[in-house]
């Protein structure tokens, strides 16, 4: 382990040194001494955990007074995003307000919420960010009317968690039959995670997946988020099967093999501003332009 002063910066080195360094805090961290092959293609400098632990950099920043509240938010797209410390930097802009601000030179492409943020309680004040799922819909089909199926999403040993460090979404194996049947009845395509060629019409028929959280917070994942284009090894670009009808090779990134509980990874977070309000013991959620 080492201790040094650490702060969050940007790609602008001068800005990071002159402005952000004022928010530096003393921080103890571990050093990598061995590579085991877990990350085979990702050349990362390290991993920074954001969980509710006294060893996290978020907690260290809060205790040192560098951020005003023990919270942070993440707003992700498929290619980039933002991390805001101490809360969220985004707010809701109604259509009327957007029109008014546009006249005053406001750029609507800047990050903002597309709806008021709603809140669901955290189930714990330490460890991972666990939340309570009260219902799950595949398209308009409610697959958790059976309490036994719903119980797999609410396991006390492993509840539903939000984890930006996981790329995909993992649903409990106990929901596989109900989920697959609903999927097939809507899309007429058998559910699978293998690479498959989809026509544009087939893609348009794929269902949204909606999680209803405690206090009636709705979290919807669209096919644009969970279907990933397969990249050709030859060209390095997404593989198009037939250009004449815009067919593409896609891969479904929602997996139905979690023993219990659910993992909502980063693909579920796309185009949402997620507020991890640890101090307030709640999660905030709003669809957003990130």
pLDDT of 129 reads 96
Report yes or no: 259 and 173 within 8 Å, Cβ to Cβ.
Answer: yes
218 vs 136: CA distance, rounded Å:
10
34 vs 110: CA distance, rounded Å:
41
pLDDT of 72 reads 95
pLDDT of 245 reads 62
Element (H, E) at 6: strand 2-6
pLDDT of 215 reads 97
Where the chain has pLDDT below 70, the residues are: 35, 37-46, 93-110, 239-245
Question: What burial class does residue 117 get, using C-beta atoms within 10 Å of its C-beta: 0-12 exposed, 13-18 middle, 19+ buried?
Answer: buried
pLDDT of 22 reads 80
Question: What burial class does residue 162 get, using C-beta atoms within 10 Å of its C-beta: 0-12 exposed, 13-18 middle, 19+ buried?
Answer: buried
pLDDT of 110 reads 56
**Residue found by looking up tokens 């702060």 in the block:** 7
**pTM for this prediction:** 0.87
pLDDT of 19 reads 76
Report yes or no: 248 and 224 within 8 Å, Cβ to Cβ.
Answer: no
What are residue 253's DSSP bridge partners?
none
What are residue 206's DSSP bridge partners?
none
Question: What burial class does residue 189 get, using C-beta atoms within 10 Å of its C-beta: 0-12 exposed, 13-18 middle, 19+ buried?
Answer: middle
60 vs 28: CA distance, rounded Å:
9
pLDDT tens-digit map of 94-153:
656 555 555 555 455 557 888 999 999 999 989 999 999 999 999 999 999 999 999 999
pLDDT of 12 reads 84
Question: What burial class does residue 156 get, using C-beta atoms within 10 Å of its C-beta: 0-12 exposed, 13-18 middle, 19+ buried?
Answer: exposed
**What phi and psi, each to the nearest 5 degrees, are found at residue 232?**
-70, 135
pLDDT of 48 reads 78
Q: What does the radius of gyration of the chain's CA atoms come to, in whole angstroms?
A: 21
pLDDT of 21 reads 79
134 vs 159: CA distance, rounded Å:
12
């Amino acid at each position: 382990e080492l201790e040094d002063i650490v702060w969050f910066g940007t790609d602008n080195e001068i800005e990071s040194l002159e402005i952000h360094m004022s928010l530096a805090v003393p921080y103890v961290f571990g050093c990598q001494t061995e590579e085991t092959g877990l990350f085979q293609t990702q050349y990362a400098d390290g991993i920074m955990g954001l969980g509710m632990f006294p060893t996290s950099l978020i907690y260290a920043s809060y205790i040192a007074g560098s951020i005003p509240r023990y919270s942070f938010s993440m707003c992700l797209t498929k290619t980039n995003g933002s991390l805001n410390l101490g809360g969220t930097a985004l707010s809701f802009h109604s259509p009327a307000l957007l029109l008014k601000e546009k006249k005053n030179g406001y750029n609507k492409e800047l990050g903002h919420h597309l709806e008021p943020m709603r809140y669901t309680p955290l189930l714990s004040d330490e460890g991972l960010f666990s939340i309570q799922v009260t219902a799950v819909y595949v398209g308009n089909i409610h697959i958790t009317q059976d309490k036994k199926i719903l119980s797999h999403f609410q396991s006390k040993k492993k509840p539903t968690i939000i984890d930006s460090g996981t790329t995909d979404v993992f649903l409990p194996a106990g929901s596989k039959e109900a989920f697959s049947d609903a999927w097939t009845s809507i899309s007429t395509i058998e559910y699978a995670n293998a690479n498959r060629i989809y026509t544009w019409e087939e893609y348009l028929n794929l269902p949204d997946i909606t999680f209803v959280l405690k206090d009636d917070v709705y979290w919807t994942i669209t096919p644009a988020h969970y279907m990933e284009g397969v990249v050709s090894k030859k060209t390095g670009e997404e593989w198009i099967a037939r250009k004449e009808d815009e067919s593409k090779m896609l891969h479904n990134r929602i997996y139905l093999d979690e023993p219990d509980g659910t993992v909502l990874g980063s693909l579920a977070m796309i185009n949402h501003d997620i507020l991890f309000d640890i101090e307030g013991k709640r999660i905030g959620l709003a669809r957003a332009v990130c």
